[in-house]
Protein backbone atom coordinates (compact mmCIF):
# COMPACT_ATOMS: atom_id res chain seq x y z
CA UNK A 1 0.00 0.00 0.00
CA UNK A 2 1.43 3.37 -0.99
CA UNK A 3 2.05 6.17 1.50
CA UNK A 4 -0.65 8.26 -0.15
CA UNK A 5 -3.27 5.55 0.31
CA UNK A 6 -2.16 4.97 3.90
CA UNK A 7 -2.41 8.69 4.58
CA UNK A 8 -5.95 8.79 3.17
CA UNK A 9 -6.98 5.80 5.27
CA UNK A 10 -5.45 7.38 8.39
CA UNK A 11 -7.40 10.60 7.78
CA UNK A 12 -10.61 8.62 7.25
CA UNK A 13 -10.04 6.65 10.47
CA UNK A 14 -9.21 9.84 12.39
CA UNK A 15 -12.47 11.38 11.14
CA UNK A 16 -14.43 8.22 11.98
CA UNK A 17 -13.08 8.03 15.55
CA UNK A 18 -13.08 11.79 16.18
CA UNK A 19 -16.13 11.87 18.49
CA UNK A 20 -15.56 8.41 19.96
CA UNK A 21 -14.62 8.43 23.64
CA UNK A 22 -14.80 4.70 24.35
CA UNK A 23 -14.45 1.50 22.39
CA UNK A 24 -14.00 -2.24 22.64
CA UNK A 25 -11.43 -4.28 20.77
CA UNK A 26 -12.11 -7.82 19.62
CA UNK A 27 -10.28 -10.24 17.37
CA UNK A 28 -12.22 -11.17 14.23
CA UNK A 29 -10.03 -14.25 13.80
CA UNK A 30 -11.92 -17.55 13.80
CA UNK A 31 -15.37 -16.00 13.39
CA UNK A 32 -17.26 -17.32 10.37
CA UNK A 33 -18.75 -14.87 7.90
CA UNK A 34 -22.28 -15.77 9.01
CA UNK A 35 -21.51 -15.19 12.71
CA UNK A 36 -19.68 -11.98 11.82
CA UNK A 37 -22.76 -10.67 9.99
CA UNK A 38 -25.06 -11.73 12.85
CA UNK A 39 -22.83 -9.93 15.36
CA UNK A 40 -22.71 -6.80 13.22
CA UNK A 41 -26.52 -6.87 12.85
CA UNK A 42 -27.02 -7.16 16.64
CA UNK A 43 -24.59 -4.32 17.21
CA UNK A 44 -26.15 -2.12 14.52
CA UNK A 45 -29.61 -2.54 16.12
CA UNK A 46 -28.19 -0.88 19.25
CA UNK A 47 -26.45 1.91 17.34
CA UNK A 48 -23.03 0.27 17.57
CA UNK A 49 -20.53 -0.18 14.73
CA UNK A 50 -17.71 -2.67 14.22
CA UNK A 51 -14.75 -1.76 12.04
CA UNK A 52 -11.87 -4.08 11.18
CA UNK A 53 -8.70 -2.03 11.13
CA UNK A 54 -5.03 -2.26 10.34
CA UNK A 55 -3.32 -1.72 13.68
CA UNK A 56 -0.52 0.61 12.53
CA UNK A 57 -2.94 2.88 10.68
CA UNK A 58 -5.41 3.17 13.56
CA UNK A 59 -2.55 3.75 16.02
CA UNK A 60 -1.36 6.71 13.96
CA UNK A 61 -4.91 7.99 13.42
CA UNK A 62 -5.71 8.02 17.17
CA UNK A 63 -2.36 9.20 18.56
CA UNK A 64 -3.87 12.47 19.66
CA UNK A 65 -7.37 12.71 21.00
CA UNK A 66 -9.68 10.99 23.42
CA UNK A 67 -8.62 7.48 22.40
CA UNK A 68 -4.97 7.96 23.22
CA UNK A 69 -3.94 4.97 25.32
CA UNK A 70 -6.04 2.14 23.89
CA UNK A 71 -3.32 1.05 21.47
CA UNK A 72 -2.10 -1.64 23.91
CA UNK A 73 -5.20 -3.67 23.02
CA UNK A 74 -4.16 -3.86 19.38
CA UNK A 75 -2.34 -7.13 18.80
CA UNK A 76 -2.95 -9.13 15.66
CA UNK A 77 -6.13 -8.76 13.63
CA UNK A 78 -8.36 -6.23 15.37
CA UNK A 79 -11.93 -5.02 15.11
CA UNK A 80 -13.00 -1.89 16.96
CA UNK A 81 -16.52 -1.79 18.38
CA UNK A 82 -17.86 1.68 19.13
CA UNK A 83 -21.03 3.69 18.86
CA UNK A 84 -23.66 5.89 20.39
CA UNK A 85 -24.63 3.35 23.04
CA UNK A 86 -22.91 3.48 26.40
CA UNK A 87 -19.78 1.41 26.82
CA UNK A 88 -21.51 -0.87 29.33
CA UNK A 89 -24.19 -1.63 26.72
CA UNK A 90 -21.46 -2.47 24.22
CA UNK A 91 -19.76 -4.69 26.81
CA UNK A 92 -23.06 -6.47 27.55
CA UNK A 93 -23.57 -7.12 23.84
CA UNK A 94 -20.06 -8.54 23.51
CA UNK A 95 -20.41 -10.75 26.60
CA UNK A 96 -23.69 -12.07 25.18
CA UNK A 97 -22.00 -12.71 21.80
CA UNK A 98 -19.13 -14.48 23.55
CA UNK A 99 -21.61 -16.86 25.22
CA UNK A 100 -23.01 -17.86 21.82
CA UNK A 101 -19.57 -18.15 20.15
CA UNK A 102 -16.59 -19.23 22.24
CA UNK A 103 -14.20 -18.41 19.37
CA UNK A 104 -14.86 -14.70 19.83
CA UNK A 105 -11.77 -13.18 21.46
CA UNK A 106 -12.50 -10.13 23.60
CA UNK A 107 -9.28 -8.15 23.85
CA UNK A 108 -10.62 -5.42 26.09
CA UNK A 109 -12.35 -2.10 26.49
CA UNK A 110 -11.00 1.43 26.68
CA UNK A 111 -12.88 4.37 28.14
CA UNK A 112 -12.29 7.33 30.40
CA UNK A 113 -8.53 6.84 30.03
CA UNK A 114 -8.59 3.32 31.46
CA UNK A 115 -8.03 -0.03 29.80
CA UNK A 116 -10.00 -3.11 30.85
CA UNK A 117 -8.17 -6.13 29.45
CA UNK A 118 -9.59 -9.43 28.23
CA UNK A 119 -12.80 -11.29 28.98
CA UNK A 120 -12.72 -10.32 32.65
CA UNK A 121 -12.29 -6.65 31.82
CA UNK A 122 -15.19 -6.69 29.38
CA UNK A 123 -17.33 -8.56 31.90
CA UNK A 124 -16.42 -6.03 34.59
CA UNK A 125 -17.47 -3.13 32.35
CA UNK A 126 -20.72 -4.92 31.44
CA UNK A 127 -21.72 -4.69 35.11
CA UNK A 128 -21.36 -0.89 35.14
CA UNK A 129 -24.65 1.01 34.93
CA UNK A 130 -25.52 2.62 31.63
CA UNK A 131 -26.02 6.37 31.52
CA UNK A 132 -29.80 5.94 31.82
CA UNK A 133 -29.43 3.51 34.73
CA UNK A 134 -27.05 5.88 36.51
CA UNK A 135 -29.50 8.76 36.11
CA UNK A 136 -32.30 6.58 37.47
CA UNK A 137 -30.15 5.60 40.48
CA UNK A 138 -29.34 9.25 41.20
CA UNK A 139 -32.99 10.28 40.84
CA UNK A 140 -34.05 7.45 43.19
CA UNK A 141 -31.45 8.53 45.76
CA UNK A 142 -32.67 12.13 45.60
CA UNK A 143 -36.32 11.06 45.85
CA UNK A 144 -35.53 8.81 48.82
CA UNK A 145 -33.89 11.71 50.64
CA UNK A 146 -36.96 13.85 49.91
CA UNK A 147 -39.29 11.13 51.20
CA UNK A 148 -37.24 10.81 54.40
CA UNK A 149 -37.33 14.59 54.86
CA UNK A 150 -41.09 14.71 54.27
CA UNK A 151 -41.53 11.85 56.74
CA UNK A 152 -39.41 13.65 59.34
CA UNK A 153 -41.42 16.85 58.90
CA UNK A 154 -44.77 15.07 58.96
CA UNK A 155 -43.92 12.75 61.87
CA UNK A 156 -44.33 15.34 64.68
CA UNK A 157 -47.63 16.47 63.17
CA UNK A 158 -48.83 12.85 63.10
CA UNK A 159 -47.80 12.37 66.71
CA UNK A 160 -49.58 15.57 67.72
CA UNK A 161 -52.72 14.48 65.87
CA UNK A 162 -52.54 11.12 67.66
CA UNK A 163 -52.25 12.81 71.07
CA UNK A 164 -55.19 15.13 70.33
CA UNK A 165 -57.29 12.20 69.13
CA UNK A 166 -56.55 10.17 72.29
CA UNK A 167 -57.42 13.18 74.51
CA UNK A 168 -60.65 13.58 72.58
CA UNK A 169 -61.49 9.88 72.96
CA UNK A 170 -60.74 10.02 76.73
CA UNK A 171 -62.98 13.10 77.08
CA UNK A 172 -65.82 11.32 75.25
CA UNK A 173 -65.34 8.27 77.45
CA UNK A 174 -65.50 10.44 80.64
CA UNK A 175 -68.68 12.12 79.37
CA UNK A 176 -70.28 8.77 78.72
CA UNK A 177 -69.23 7.41 82.12
CA UNK A 178 -70.27 10.51 84.12
CA UNK A 179 -73.68 10.16 85.80
CA UNK A 180 -76.38 12.13 84.15
CA UNK A 181 -78.16 14.39 86.71
CA UNK A 182 -81.86 13.70 87.06
CA UNK A 183 -84.14 16.31 85.64
CA UNK A 184 -85.61 18.67 88.19
CA UNK A 185 -83.19 17.97 90.93
Domain spans in the chain, listed from the N-terminal domain onward: 3-128, 129-175
Residue 117, pLDDT > 80, answer: yes
Q: What is the pLDDT of residue 69?
A: 75
Residue 108 backbone class (left: φ over 0; alpha: ψ -120 to 50; beta: rest): left
Res. 76 pLDDT band, cuts 50 70 90: confident
pTM confidence score: 0.67
Q: Residue 179: its pLDDT value, please?
A: 67
* 110, β-bridge pairs: 23, 115
- Work out the percent of the chain whose per-residue pLDDT is above 70: 96
Q: What architecture does CATH give domain 3-128?
A: 2-Layer Sandwich (3.30)
pLDDT at position 123 is 87
Angle at 60 between CA 111 and CA 118, to 5 degrees: 40
**Confidence (pLDDT) at 78:** 85
Residue-wise pLDDT tens digits, 26-69: 888 878 888 888 888 988 888 888 888 888 888 888 877 777 77
Helices (H), 62-117: 87-100
Q: For the sheet containing 114-117, what is the strand order?
A: 48-53, 78-83, 22-27, 105-111, 114-117
* Helix (H/G/I), strand (E/B), else coil: 85: coil
Q: Residue 181's pLDDT band (boundaries 50, 70, 90)?
A: low
Amino acid sequence: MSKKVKSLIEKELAKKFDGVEALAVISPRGISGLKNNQLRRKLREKGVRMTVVKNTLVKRATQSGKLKGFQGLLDGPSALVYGKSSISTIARLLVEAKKSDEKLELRGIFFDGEVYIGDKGVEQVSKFPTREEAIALIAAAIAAAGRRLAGAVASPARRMAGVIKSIEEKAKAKEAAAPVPAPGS
